[in-house]
């Protein structure tokens, strides 16, 4: 049975409620003339195309490369405390504009407004963190070198960088990349996802309003072909991408061929292991939150629930009941906890994966289908009986769909968890924290959380292993990817030999 979403308010009505008018000049006034562009705002709650934006021409891309490269010399020479002051102001502006910024991503990718405001707050904390801690991370490191003398490692920026960011966390993904690198003194050219152009423009405007020098951060509505050419350009020193395995492979290939540094944050199929539980209701509450937040559209969402057999039936029943109680609804309504998927294509892709599993014998405990009506809504879905011949076993399910497995013991749980080609995050739940930590230590992931779903915060490193990516973001590690760790060495002066 298909659940019905609450009626969606129009985008104009909601944006008007928060006092935001999103209006940009038509293409001709921007100097583009007539255009055909894939950059457009399509409201996923209704399927309505709200506004289209012109893509950059090749000449404009070349101009952006030139400006970014030229401003690097002055930006890297800007005193650290001034860079810190600007980033601090960026964080303040995110907090001041929280309602406006949240409304934009609710409109563009369907994030429930409460979650959208939470994302904006997280972003503000990231800029504030690097504003406060960045100067410390940039201090020279003195080495105790053999042979005496002085040895210093200096952290220096490398130049202009390209960022390629996705739609699922439009502000947060950019902040993870931009905040540490602007603090370093690098400059940034940012290609955002094609379905959130208004988010991209809002980000750029905040940097301008915070006093960042012109061209230190440039938003570009570029094509995939233009991005490949940009990465190859000698003025670009590195590239960071958050996205799919396919996109990561393409970017890594171009970067490697041109000897450019790169950071890739790709997909995930995070295990959520339940070894035991003395409060199954609390465990299931965390599990459903970890799976269904952002409509399941998170690389670090809990996706594979691996439960020891003594607790399996109770977990399945309670997880199913709690998931089924979630009603997809209007993301601009503060009461909504499950919004639409980001696009019709996203909903279609998830439906194909679930249909494949069902056709091959998987059991659907609740959901399993798109919601009838306008928009890209999908029912919260719970699957069991998923086997290796099904797409749902090996592919990332990017939506509100959970797969639950039964295992006999902790070793089987670890084997199943590590059997994935992904290795981003994971969770281990047990009433015995030491036992949970022992299992966590054996997981092949970049991050593991004990008795908690995978989370994120400015002062903790973020990244994965295997096909989940290369490199780390956030914390001090986020300032160590696109840097020149320059050694300055002055050996000890040897005493001169006396003359006879």
Q: Are 5 and 371 in contact (CB under 8 A)?
A: yes
**From the CB of residue 280, how many other CB atoms can be counted at a distance below 10 Å?**
18
Helical axes 80-96 vs 113-137, angle rounded to 10°? 170
Half-sphere exposure of residue 188, counting CA atoms within 13 Å on the CB side?
28
Q: Which one from 133, 265, 379, 473 is the annotated catalytic residue?
A: 265
Cβ-Cβ contacts under 8 Å for 434 (sequence gap 6 or more): none
Tell me the pairing of strands 236-242 and 160-164.
parallel
Name the residue with tokens 């709650």: 45
Please enumerate, as own/partner, the contacts of 86-89 that have beta carbons within 8 Å and a separation of 24 or more.
Answer: 86/182, 86/210, 86/211, 86/212, 87/127, 87/128, 87/130, 87/131, 87/134, 87/179, 87/182, 87/183, 87/210, 88/127, 88/128, 88/131, 88/132, 89/210, 89/211
Active-site residue (options: 194, 196, 299, 396): 299
Separation between Cα atoms, residue 106 and residue 120, nearest integer Å: 12
Beta-carbon neighbour count of residue 62 at 10 Å?
16
Torsion of CA 118, 121, 126, 129, to 10 degrees: -130
Does residue 299 carry a catalytic annotation? yes
Is residue 30 part of the annotated active site? The answer reads: no
Q: How far is CA 330 from CA 106, 108, 111, 152, 429, in A?
A: 10, 13, 10, 56, 33
Give the residues across from 60 on adjacent strands: none
Separation CA 24–CA 244 (nearest Å): 30
Where are the alpha helices (H) located in 211-324, listed in sequence order? 224-232, 245-257, 280-292, 309-324
CA dist 273 and 4 (Å) reads 32
Distance from C-alpha of 184 to C-alpha of 197, rounded to nearest angstrom: 26
Tokens found for residue 304? 């594979």
The SS3 assignment for 206 reads helix
User: From the centroid of its chain, how far is CA 164?
Assistant: 11
Q: Is-contact 300 173, C-beta < 8 A?
A: no
Tokens of 496: 């001169």
φ, ψ at 171 (rounded to 5°): -90, -40
**Strand, coil or helix: what is 445?**
coil
Count of residues making up the chain: 500
Place of tokens 């993870």: 176
Distance CA 429, CA 286 (A): 10
So which residues are the catalytic ones? 265, 299
């Amino acid at each position: 049975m298909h659940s019905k979403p609450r009626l969606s308010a129009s985008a104009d009505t909601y944006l008007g409620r928060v006092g935001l008018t999103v209006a940009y000049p038509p293409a001709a006034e921007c100097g583009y003339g007539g255009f055909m562009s894939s950059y457009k705002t399509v409201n996923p709650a209704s399927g309505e195309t709200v506004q289209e934006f012109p893509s950059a021409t090749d000449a404009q891309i070349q101009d952006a490369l030139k400006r970014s490269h030229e401003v690097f010399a002055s930006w890297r020479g800007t005193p650290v405390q001034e860079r810190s002051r600007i980033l601090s102001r960026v964080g303040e502006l995110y907090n001041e504009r929280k309602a406006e910024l949240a409304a934009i991503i609710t409109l563009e990718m369907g994030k429930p407004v409460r979650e959208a405001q939470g994302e904006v707050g997280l972003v503000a904390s990231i800029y504030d963190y690097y504003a406060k801690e960045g100067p410390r991370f940039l201090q020279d490191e003195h080495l105790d070198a053999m042979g005496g003398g002085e040895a210093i490692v200096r952290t220096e920026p490398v130049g202009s960088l390209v960022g390629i960011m996705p739609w699922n966390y439009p502000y947060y993904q950019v902040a993870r990349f931009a905040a540490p690198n602007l603090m370093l003194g690098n400059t940034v050219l940012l290609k955002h996802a094609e379905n959130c152009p208004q988010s991209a423009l809002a980000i750029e405007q905040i940097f301008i309003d915070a006093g960042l020098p012109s061209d230190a951060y440039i938003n570009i509505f570029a094509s995939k072909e233009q991005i490949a050419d940009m990465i190859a350009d000698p003025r670009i020193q590195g590239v960071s991408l958050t996205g799919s395995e396919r996109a990561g492979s393409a970017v890594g290939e171009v970067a490697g061929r041109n000897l450019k540094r790169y950071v890739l944050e790709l997909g995930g199929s995070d295990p959520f292991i339940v070894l035991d539980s003395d409060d199954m209701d609390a465990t299931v509450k965390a599990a459903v939150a970890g799976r269904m937040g952002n409509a399941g559209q998170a690389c670090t969402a809990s996706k594979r629930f691996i439960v020891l057999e003594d607790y399996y039936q109770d977990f399945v029943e309670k997880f199913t009941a709690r998931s089924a109680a979630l009603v997809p609804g209007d993301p601009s309504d503060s009461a909504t906890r499950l919004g639409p998927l980001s696009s019709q294509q996203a909903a279609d892709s998830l439906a194909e994966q679930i249909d494949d599993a069902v056709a091959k014998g998987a059991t659907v405990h609740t959901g399993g289908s798109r919601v009838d009506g306008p928009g890209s809504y999908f029912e919260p879905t719970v699957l069991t009986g998923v086997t290796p011949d099904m797409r749902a076993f090996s592919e990332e399910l990017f939506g509100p769909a959970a797969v639950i497995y039964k295992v006999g013991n902790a070793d089987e749980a670890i084997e199943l968890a590590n059997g994935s080609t992904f290795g981003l995050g994971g969770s281990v739940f047990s009433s015995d924290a030491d036992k949970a930590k022992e299992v966590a230590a054996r997981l092949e992931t970049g991050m593991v959380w004990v008795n908690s779903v995978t989370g994120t915060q400015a002062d903790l490193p973020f990244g994965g292993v295997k096909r989940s990516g290369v490199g780390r973001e956030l914390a001090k590690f986020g300032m160590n990817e696109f840097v020149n760790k320059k050694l300055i060495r002055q050996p000890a002066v040897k005493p001169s030999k006396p003359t006879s």
